[in-house]
Amino acid sequence: MQWLRHGWLPLLLLTAFVLQRYAWLDFPFPAPVKLSPVLLGVALALAVFFKSSRLAYAATLILAFYLALDAVPWLRQESLFSLGLALVSLNIALVAYTSDRNPLSGFGLLLLFAALGQGVGLYLLQSWPNSFSWLMPLTLPYGGGIQFDLAAQVFVCAILLLLVKVSVKPEATGFGLLACTLLLYLVRDPALPPGQFHLAASISSLLLTFLVLHSAYELAFRDELTGIPSRRAYNRYLLTLGRHYMIAVIDIDHFKKLNDRHGHRVGDQVLRMVAGKIARYGGGRAFRYGGEEFVVVFRGRDREKALNALERMREKIAGYPLKLRSAMRDTADNAKARRRRGQGGGRAIKTTVSVGLAGSGGNHRLPEAVLEAADRALYRAKRGGRNRVCTQA
Ligand SMILES: Nc1nc2c(ncn2[C@@H]2O[C@H](COP(=O)(O)OP(=O)(O)OP(=O)(O)O)[C@@H](O)[C@H]2O)c(=O)[nH]1
């Protein structure tokens, strides 16, 4: 499911490309596919602007290869073309393992020098092919008469690296870079019409542009700590609601005490766990409103259904034993840390939430009024002993 959520666009574009590549789809190559350097340039500029180094390097590498193809004719030689593309893919795969930072940093320059070094390597390879006879014609025989060429092996390494990456951490950028690598793999044969390479480069640039915008969107509308949509996303979502909706306000019980007792890192762990349960079981669209407060918005006014979901969510949270990982790892040797370890290390803690639910209608026409009513219901839940769901009076 995670794979589909993050990888639907790369999958869609890749499928479209495969369909036309094998002529199952009659796709005429229009002149605009020659726009790929411009599109790659746009992707690169956006990636630099939004400090998305992984996407900036991917765009730079594909663009550099594209421009080099025009500038140095020897790169179009059969084995050098595919080896060059394979190296671009391998660099993309390695870059996928770095974290996003300013693309114009020293680290960025280092990566660019490494890529440049590989370009020089290719040049040496074509200038003195005899010195590299152990590599030329870049094919290595394997048992059973199967021949794998060097470029194919480099491609396989790059694809495997990216598959491992997206398996460990399924996120849109990883899937996008994997799709770019697969696209390059599909056009590695220089005997293909040049339009195929242009098209693959254009699709890659569109994908990279989308990913840059997507990561900027995530930055603006997703809460960094818990990974669920933020208050800004909530304000936006309100604009899309009709007249009938309900809002639930969820607050973690005695969270200040929990923070004081186990430290803020454990508090953050609890926030992440609670956010996950709310997003999964809350029954509506979940947002982190701020601090230890969350909201769930339900479209329509099916009170029974909302209450059932919220009750189930409350039970799931109350019944979840959270292992205190941070406390165990807390190696600081001071009195506070020792106390934390003594109290929490290796144990599991449980936490509860109180919930207030209110619906639109009557005096509550605006979302602010509904939220206030939900807040009042939450207050009653707290006063009534916590760990419960209350609705507006
Ligand atoms: N660890 C952590 N703590 C946070 C974060 N945001 C807010 N808090 C803490 O959340 C606590 C909120 O406590 P209160 O509003 O007093 O409420 P409470 O202790 O949960 O008590 P009741 O709501 O009455 O059950 C404060 O101690 C804040 O420091 C965060 O992102 N991480």
**Atom number in ligand 1 closest to CA 251:** 23
**Atom number in ligand 1 closest to CA 252:** 20
Provide CB contacts within 8 A for 153, sequence distance 6+.
140
Confirm or reject: Cβ of 30 under 6 Å from ligand 1. Answer: no
> Do 355 and 314 form a contact (C-beta atoms < 8 A)?
yes
Using the mean position of ligand 1's atoms as its centre, give its distance from the Cα of residue 370 in Å: 23
Residue 176 confidence (pLDDT): 93
Report residue 145's pLDDT band, with 50, 70 and 90 as the boundaries.
very low
pLDDT tens-digit profile of 222-278? 999 999 999 999 999 998 988 899 999 999 999 999 999 989 999 999 999 999 999
Nearest residue by C-alpha to atom 4 in ligand 1 = 291
User: Hey, where are the domains in the chain?
Assistant: 2-221, 231-391
Distance CA 29, CA 196 (A): 9
Residue 246 confidence (pLDDT): 95
Q: What is the pTM of this model?
A: 0.72
Check residue 346 and give left, alpha or beta (phi > 0: left; psi -120 to 50: alpha): left
Confirm or reject: Cβ of 352 under 6 Å from ligand 1. Answer: no
Confirm or reject: Cβ of 268 under 6 Å from ligand 1. Answer: yes
pLDDT tens-digit profile of 91-105? 999 999 988 877 777
pLDDT tens-digit profile of 297-319? 999 888 999 999 999 999 999 99
Using the mean position of ligand 1's atoms as its centre, give its distance from the Cα of residue 284 in Å: 24
Residue 130 confidence (pLDDT): 63
Using the mean position of ligand 1's atoms as its centre, give its distance from the Cα of residue 280 in Å: 22
- pLDDT above 50 (res 327): no
Confirm or reject: Cβ of 271 under 6 Å from ligand 1. Answer: yes
Between residues 136 and 181, which one has the greater pLDDT? 181
Residue 128 confidence (pLDDT): 72
Nearest residue by C-alpha to atom 8 in ligand 1 = 291
Residue 310 confidence (pLDDT): 96
Provide CB contacts within 8 A for 177, sequence distance 6+.
54, 58, 92, 93, 95, 96, 162
Mean pLDDT along residues 160-188 = 93
**Pocket test residue of 226, 252, 259, 349 for ligand 1, highest count of atoms within 8 A of CB:** 259
Confirm or reject: Cβ of 294 under 6 Å from ligand 1. Answer: no
- pLDDT above 70 (res 34): no
Distance CA 154, CA 92 (A): 12
Nearest residue by C-alpha to atom 32 in ligand 1 = 268
Please give the structure tokens belonging to residue 149.
């060429």
Nearest residue by C-alpha to atom 14 in ligand 1 = 256
Nearest CA among 349, 345, 347, 314 for reference residue 332? 345
Distance CA 149, CA 155 (A): 10
Confirm or reject: Cβ of 252 under 6 Å from ligand 1. Answer: yes
As assigned by CATH, the class of the 231-391 domain is alpha beta
Report residue 142's pLDDT band, with 50, 70 and 90 as the boundaries.
very low
Mean pLDDT along residues 360-377 = 89
**Pocket test residue of 225, 251, 252, 255 for ligand 1, highest count of atoms within 8 A of CB:** 255
- pLDDT above 90 (res 108): no
Average pLDDT, the chain: 84
- CA dihedral 362→365→367→370, nearest 10 degrees, is -20
**Atom number in ligand 1 closest to CA 270:** 1
Confirm or reject: Cβ of 223 under 6 Å from ligand 1. Answer: no
Using the mean position of ligand 1's atoms as its centre, give its distance from the Cα of residue 254 in Å: 7
Between residues 319 and 135, which one has the greater pLDDT? 319
Radius of gyration of the chain (CA): 27
ipTM comes to 0.94
